[in-house]
Structure 1
Amino acid sequence: MSGNGSGISAKRPNERLNSWFRRSGWSKGELARQVNRRARQLGAHHISTDTSRVRRWLDGEQPREPIPRILSELFSERFGSVVGIEDLGLRSAPQSAAVSGIDLPWAGPQTVALINEFSRSDLMLGRRGFLGTSLVMSAGPGLIEPMQRWLVPAPAGEAPPSAGARLTVPAQSRSEPRRLTGLSGPELAQLEDSTAQFRRWDAVSGGGLRRKAVVGQLHEVTDLLQESHPEGVRRRLFRITAELSELAGWMSYDIGLQPTAQKYFVLALHAAKEAGDRPLGAYILSKMSRQMIHLGRAEDALELIHLAQYGSRGRATPRTQSMLYALEGRAYATLGQVPKCHRAVRMAQEAFGDIAAGEREPDWIRFFSEAELNAENAHSYRDLAYVAGRSPAYLARARPLMERAVELFARECAENATGGHQRSYALNLIGMATVHLLEREPEACAAQTAEAVTLARRLRSERVNNRLRKTWATARRDYGKVPEIIALTERLTTEFPESEAGRAV
Structure 2
Amino acid sequence: MSGTGGSADKRPNEQLGSWFVRSGWSKGELARQVNRRARQIGAHHISTDTSRVRRWLDGEQPREPIPRILSELFSERFGCVVGVEDLGLRPVHQSPSVSGVDLPWAGPQTVSLLSEFSRSDLMLARRGFLGTSLALAAGPALIEPMQRWLTPLPTGGQPSQADGDRSRRSSRLSRPELELLEATAVMFRKWDAQCGGGLRRKAVVGQLHEVTDLLQENHSEASGKRLFTVAAELAELAGWMSYDIGMHPTAQKYFVLALHAAKEAGDRPLGSYILSSMSRQMIHLGRPDDALELIHLAQYGSQQSATPRTQAMLYAMEARAYANMGQPNKCHRAVRLAEDAFSDCARGDGDPDWIRFFSEAELNAENAHSYRDLAYVAGRSPTYAERATPYMRRAVELFAEEAEQEDGHTRSYALNLIGMATVHLLQREPEQSAQLAEKALPFAKRVRSERVNNRLRKTVDTAVRDFGDVPAVAQLHEQLMVQLPDSGEGAARAV
The alignment's TM-score, normalised by the length of structure 2, stands at 0.96
> Offset of 1:182 from its aligned partner?
4.1
Stretches (4+) displaced over 4 A: 163-169, 500-503
Cα displacement string for residues 176-196 of structure 1 (whole angstroms, at most 9, x for unaligned residues): x98444422211110010000
Q: State the alpha-carbon separation in 2 of the partners of residues 184 and 167 from structure 1.
A: 23
Q: State the alpha-carbon separation in 2 of the partners of residues 31 and 502 from structure 1.
A: 15
- Alignment map for 1:398-437 (pairs within 5 Å): 398-414=388-404, 416-418=405-407, 420-437=408-425
Cα displacement string for residues 161-182 of structure 1 (whole angstroms, at most 9, x for unaligned residues): 338945799xxxxxxx984444
User: Which letter does structure 2 place at the counterpart of 1:473?
Assistant: D
Q: State the alpha-carbon separation in 2 of the partners of residues 183 and 376 from structure 1.
A: 40
Query: Who is 2:346 aligned against?
Result: 356
CA distance 1:107–1:164, change in 2 (3 Å): closer
CA distance 1:333–1:358, change in 2 (3 Å): closer
Q: State the alpha-carbon separation in 1 of the partners of residues 349 and 224 from structure 2.
A: 26
CA distance 1:501–1:255, change in 2 (3 Å): farther
Q: Aligned to 2:328, which of 338, 349, 358?
A: 338
Query: Who is 1:241 aligned against?
Result: 231
Moved more, 123-132 or 238-247: 123-132
Moved more, 424-433 or 177-186: 177-186
- Alignment map for 1:75-114 (pairs within 5 Å): 75-114=74-113
CA distance 1:163–1:330, change in 2 (3 Å): closer
Indicate yes or no: 2:300 matched with 1:310: yes
Cα displacement string for residues 436-473 of structure 1 (whole angstroms, at most 9, x for unaligned residues): 00111111001100111011111100000000010000
Query: Who is 1:261 aligned against?
Result: 251
Q: CA RMSD in A?
A: 1.8
Contact 1:69/1:132 (8 A) holds in 2: no
* Secondary structure, aligned partner of 1:209: helix
Query: Who is 2:27 aligned against?
Result: 28
Contact 1:115/1:267 (8 A) holds in 2: yes
Contact 1:99/1:131 (8 A) holds in 2: no
Query: Who is 2:450 aligned against?
Result: 462
| Structure 1: gaps (5+ residues) | 170-176
> Offset of 1:89 from its aligned partner?
1.2
User: Which letter does structure 1 place at the counterpart of 2:186?
Assistant: A
- Alignment map for 1:213-228 (pairs within 5 Å): 213-228=203-218
Q: How many pairs are equivalent? A: 490
User: Which letter does structure 1 place at the counterpart of 2:247?
Assistant: L
Query: Who is 1:73 aligned against?
Result: 72
Contact 1:9/1:60 (8 A) holds in 2: no
Indicate yes or no: 2:15 matched with 1:19: no
Cα displacement string for residues 96-116 of structure 1 (whole angstroms, at most 9, x for unaligned residues): 334301111111100000010
Contact 1:168/1:226 (8 A) holds in 2: no
> Offset of 1:500 from its aligned partner?
9.0
Q: State the alpha-carbon separation in 2 of the partners of residues 123 and 39 from structure 1.
A: 18
- Alignment map for 1:42-61 (pairs within 5 Å): 42-61=41-60
Query: Who is 1:476 aligned against?
Result: 464
Q: State the alpha-carbon separation in 1 of the partners of residues 8 and 105 from structure 2.
A: 39
Q: State the alpha-carbon separation in 1 of the partners of residues 146 and 210 from structure 2.
A: 26
Report the identity percentage: 72
* Secondary structure, aligned partner of 1:47: coil
Query: Who is 1:173 aligned against?
Result: none
User: Which letter does structure 2 place at the counterpart of 1:318?
Assistant: P
Query: Who is 2:291 aligned against?
Result: 301
> Offset of 1:356 from its aligned partner?
2.2
Q: State the alpha-carbon separation in 2 of the partners of residues 68 and 183 from structure 1.
A: 45
Query: Who is 1:391 aligned against?
Result: 381
* Secondary structure, aligned partner of 2:96: coil
Q: Aligned to 2:186, which of 174, 186, 196?
A: 196
| Structure 2: gaps (5+ residues) | none
> Offset of 1:501 from its aligned partner?
6.3
Contact 1:239/1:275 (8 A) holds in 2: yes
* Secondary structure, aligned partner of 1:457: helix
Query: Who is 1:448 aligned against?
Result: 436
Cα displacement string for residues 269-292 of structure 1 (whole angstroms, at most 9, x for unaligned residues): 000000000000000000000000
Q: Aligned to 2:316, which of 321, 326, 329?
A: 326
Q: State the alpha-carbon separation in 2 of the partners of residues 130 and 445 from structure 1.
A: 36
